[in-house]
A and B are shown apart, each in its own frame.
Chain A
Amino acid sequence: MPETIEQVPHEAEADLHVRHHFANAEQQMEASTLGMWTFLITEVLFFGGMFAGYAVYREMYPAAFAATSEFMNVEIGAANTAVLICSSLTMAMAVRAAQLSKRGDLIKYLIGTLIFGITFLVVKAFEYHAKYVEHLIPGPNFHPEHLAPQFMHNAQILFFLYFCMTGMHAVHMVAGVGLLTFLLIQAYRNVFHAHYFAPVEMIGLYWHFVDIVWIFLFPLLYLIGHWHW
């Protein structure tokens, strides 16, 4: 059972944030929520195009796709997945803190989310660099060691999809880090409280969505073939 909201002194301040074309704060909140969900739907279809490509080519070239899994570091991928899951927890806790007007907690959890998010991106950068060093970038320099020659062509499709899908995901993470930084500044200025926390919740929705995309990317890109600890 959810906790009930307590009466806090800033009720009237909610109206300060209501824009002129809205009748009241409730309408504005409902519009914002529906707007953010609509935007997330566009993101589903945006990533979806690449998932369609992945599905088609995995069905066409299952052996080549499976052969690429030796070049994916499952431990790092799983660890990064865990990092994002932790960031989702801290994000949810941050929204909760805003709803309860707890500025200190809100700042703490936003910083936590930022740390997890940046960690993910740093790890990703190391992964990309490793792939570059191992000549796994598709194109004229594609030259992986120990890959059976009959897979040399089709494996490039998998790596192309790997870079495009994780790259697009990373772009969204970077945007998320920017948005979180904005939230942190606003939280520091004590803008958010129980009667006005919409930006925290909306950016939270975005952040969780980016986590969901990675939840699918991890098994599809890292666990195609078999691996051992």
Chain B
Amino acid sequence: MTTDAKSHSHVHIPKVSTLVKVWITLLVATFVTAEVATFDLGEWNIVIAMAIACTKATLVAWIFMGVRFTSQLTKLFCVAGLVFLSILLLITFSDYSSRSWTYHAKPWATNKSLGLSK
């Protein structure tokens, strides 16, 4: 079936310099993640590592995958997927976090019960 009018969607072609800049940023961020892990920052290690990972993922999605130029609907779909993943993670996690509120000790072995530091 042929079309009568030439209905081209506006094709967004990224600039090479943009792609290369993102590429370098991602490589640097990978190095930084590994470097930060050489320091003992306690609970902040995982927070920083995840923050950097989220930034990298956002860059890949926004620029490499072209979310920057997609429709509102596509952006909504991306967000929706993450929202429902968060529901799975958060509520499941809340179960394990709150079990000890009833009992005095978590039923599984922890660092403290094993006499370990940190």
Contact = CB atoms under 8 A, between A and B. Distances in A.
Q: Is the contact region of chain A dominated by helix, strand, or loop, or is it mixed?
A: helix
A30 interface: yes
B89 A99 contact: no
Contacts, number: 173
Contact of A63 (B56, B70, B114): B114
A216 B46 CA distance: 11
A134 interface: no
Given A2-B13, A45-B84, A61-B108, A223 B60 contact: no
B2 A49 contact: no
Nearest to B85: A48
A91 interface: yes
Interface residues of A, number: 70
A18 interface: yes
Given A45-B88, A55-B93, A219-B50, A2 B81 contact: no
A20 B66 CA distance: 28
A112 to B, nearest CB: 12
Nearest to B97: A59
A71 interface: no
Nearest to B40: A226
Contact of B30 (A26, A45, A218, A220): A218
A78 B9 contact: no
Contact of B96 (A38, A48, A56, A208): A56
Given A18-B1, A37-B74, A59-B93, A2 B14 contact: yes
A215 B55 CA distance: 10
B96 A63 contact: no
A85 interface: yes
Interface in B54-84: 56-57, 60-61, 63-66, 69-71, 73-74, 77-78, 80-82, 84
Given A37-B74, A44-B82, 13 more contacts: A23-B3, A48-B85, A55-B92, A66-B118, A78-B31, A85-B26, A88-B26, A92-B64, A154-B109, A208-B64, A211-B60, A215-B60, A219-B52
